[in-house]
């Protein structure tokens, strides 16, 4: 089976940097996704990691360590519109399914 853990809530200040952590325990691994979900809306894709290291996309970066079962999403130059839930998700060994964590609600304050 798979288990994914991430903090329930985080608060950060506009303009700052925030790191959202995700740990996973799996019997296999085929990649890790981060999604953003604004309240009342659908999740949207942010990033994908399958190899160890950092992937950068503008203000957002995602890091993966497969040996530690650990990933983080780094958001720089926070904006009020970044207030949302951030979902960590791991593709299962068979490749058909993706298991989602419960999500981290990020509140950005002025």
Partner 1 sequence: NAGVTQTPKFRVLKTGQSMTLLCAQDMNHEYMYWYRQDPGMGLRLIHYSVGEGTTAKGEVPDGYNVSRLKKQNFLLGLESAAPSQTSVYFCASSSGQLNQPQHFGDGTRLSIL
Q: Does 107 bind partner 1 (CB under 8 A)?
A: no
Give the pair of three-digit tokens for residue 97. Answer: 């399914």
Q: Does 54 bind partner 1 (CB under 8 A)?
A: no
Binding mask 7-26 for partner 1 (x = CB under 8 A): -x------------------
Q: How many binding residues for partner 1 (CB under 8 A)?
A: 24
Residue 74: CB atoms within 10 Å: 15
Measured in whole angstroms, the distance separating CA 18 from the mean position of its chain's CA atoms is 12
Q: Does 44 bind partner 1 (CB under 8 A)?
A: yes
- Please say which residue, 78 or 90, places its beta carbon nearer to partner 1: 90
Give the pair of three-digit tokens for residue 99. Answer: 């298991």
List, in order, residues 6 or more apart from 42 with CB less than 8 Å away.
none
Q: Closest distance between partner 1 and the C-beta of residue 86, in Å? A: 11
With beta carbons less than 8 A apart as the criterion, state whether 32 and 92 touch: no
The footprint of partner 1 (CB under 8 A) covers 8, 30-31, 33, 35, 41-45, 48, 50, 87, 89, 91, 95-103
């Amino acid at each position: 089976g798979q288990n994914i853990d991430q903090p329930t809530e985080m608060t950060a200040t506009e303009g700052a940097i925030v790191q959202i952590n995700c740990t996973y325990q799996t019997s296999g691994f085929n990649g890790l996704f981060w999604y953003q979900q604004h309240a009342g809306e659908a999740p949207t894709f942010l990033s994908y990691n399958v190899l160890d290291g950092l992937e950068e996309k503008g203000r957002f970066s995602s890091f993966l360590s497969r040996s530690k079962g650990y990933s983080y999403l780094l958001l720089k130059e926070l904006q009020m519109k970044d207030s949302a839930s951030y979902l960590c998700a791991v593709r299962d060994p068979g490749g058909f399914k993706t298991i989602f964590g419960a999500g981290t609600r990020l509140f950005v304050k002025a």
